[in-house]
């Protein structure tokens, strides 16, 4: 007897996450603070804990989610002109590289001390040090990690990054940082690109461009970070490609954007498509969010998220003060 999944056309299975993503994107225009990714994740979590989760159209959602997130990662490359990243100079590069390395390594060390699952620790460390949900999506298949742990990592990186939108500008003002220092600190420490833009807009005029450029420098480190994680998985006996198709696509997109041949209108459309794809993927991750398994939020996971945020913010602030 054929399974339910086989009787549902693939195009139907991709419809729910896309509809949820479009709805989340629309709502985020009126309620901007959570952002479309978190809103889509919440919608997925709500569906997962209702009778709707047994709908035939949601069968096979894990493979659909992976595909959407991977295409989203490829599209992110179109946001990374190498010339703009180089404009932050050697001091900016130092802040970015040292902060990413310290956050990634420090989070993994703390996670091991807390005796958390290695896969969960790795995806959370990648998300907090690089670019949030997109980075988590890129490495989630490289390590042994349950889908519900991936959803938990996404929730943590989104919630803590959203909190920093308010906290960082206030702290920057209290510490007497200049607009440039505050912008660099925001770009080097806050998790998602959209969150960086939101925080920088509070800092002051001219901060958004600086903060976004620094943040894109962190996003550019996605490829080497993935390679490091993949190599570790290979050493542990897992068959993991060092350069999967979506990471190769990401690098090609970076090169394409850097040539300047892509029209501004096309880039604007690509930016919207990227957000929708990532939000659709977040909806799929939310479907793995079973309240019985994840609520209350595990204390050790919460402690790790706090520690990772403190490391990212503390290291980057120290470097900004020392170098600028």
Question: Which is more confident, 15 or 302?
Answer: 302
Tell me what pLDDT residue 86 has. 78
Q: Phi/psi at 32 (nearest 5 deg)? A: -70, -25
What does pTM read for this prediction?
0.77
Spatial distance between the Cα atoms of 3 and 114, rounded to a whole number of angstroms = 41
Task: Please state, as a whole number, how many other Cβ atoms lie within 10 Å of the Cβ of residue 184.
Answer: 30
Domain definitions of the chain by residue range: 77-269+297-323
Q: Give the separation between CA 195 and CA 192, rounded to whole angstroms.
A: 5
Given this model, what pLDDT does residue 59 score?
64
Fill in the DSSP letter of residue 208: H
Cβ contacts of residue 218 below 8 Å, gap of 6+? 96, 99, 100, 129, 130, 131, 187, 188
Q: Which of 225-234, 283-292, 312-321 has the lowest mean pLDDT?
A: 283-292
How many CB atoms within 10 Å of residue 146? 14
Examine the pLDDT at 4 and tell me if it is beyond 50.
no
Average pLDDT over the chain, rounded to an integer: 83
Q: What is residue 102's predicted lDDT score, i.e. its pLDDT?
A: 97
Listed range (65-79, 140-154, 234-248, 252-266) with the worst mean pLDDT: 234-248
């Amino acid at each position: 007897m054929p399974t339910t999944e086989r009787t549902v056309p693939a195009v139907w299975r991709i419809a729910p996450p896309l509809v949820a993503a479009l709805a989340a994107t629309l709502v985020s225009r009126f309620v901007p603070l959570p952002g479309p990714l978190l809103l889509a994740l919440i919608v997925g979590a709500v569906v997962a804990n209702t009778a709707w989760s047994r709908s035939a159209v949601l069968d096979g959602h894990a493979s659909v989610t992976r595909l959407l997130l991977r295409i989203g990662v490829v599209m992110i490359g179109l946001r990374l002109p190498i010339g703009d990243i180089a404009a932050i100079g050697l001091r900016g590069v130092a802040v970015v590289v040292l902060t990413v390395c310290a956050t990634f390594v420090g989070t993994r060390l703390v996670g091991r001390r807390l005796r958390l699952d290695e896969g969960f620790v790795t995806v959370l460390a990648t998300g907090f040090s690089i670019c949030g949900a997109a980075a988590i999506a890129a490495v989630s298949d490289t390590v042994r990690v349950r889908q519900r742990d991936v959803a938990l990592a996404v929730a943590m990186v989104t919630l803590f990054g959203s909190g920093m939108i308010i906290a960082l500008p206030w702290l920057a003002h209290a510490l007497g940082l200049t607009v440039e220092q505050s912008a660099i600190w925001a770009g080097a420490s806050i998790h998602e690109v959209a969150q960086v833009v939101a925080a920088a807009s509070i800092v002051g005029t001219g901060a958004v461009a600086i903060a976004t450029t620094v943040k894109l420098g962190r996003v550019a480190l996605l490829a080497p970070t993935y390679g490091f994680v993949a190599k570790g998985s290979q050493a542990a006996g897992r068959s993991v490609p060092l350069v999967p198709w979506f990471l190769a696509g990401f690098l090609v997109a970076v090169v394409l954007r850097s040539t300047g041949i892509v029209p501004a209108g096309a880039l604007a459309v690509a930016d919207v498509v990227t957000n929708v794809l990532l939000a659709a993927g977040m909806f799929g991750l939310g479907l793995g969010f079973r309240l019985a398994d994840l609520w209350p939020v595990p204390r050790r996971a919460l402690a790790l998220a706090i520690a990772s945020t403190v490391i990212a913010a503390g290291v980057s602030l120290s470097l900004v003060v020392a170098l600028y």
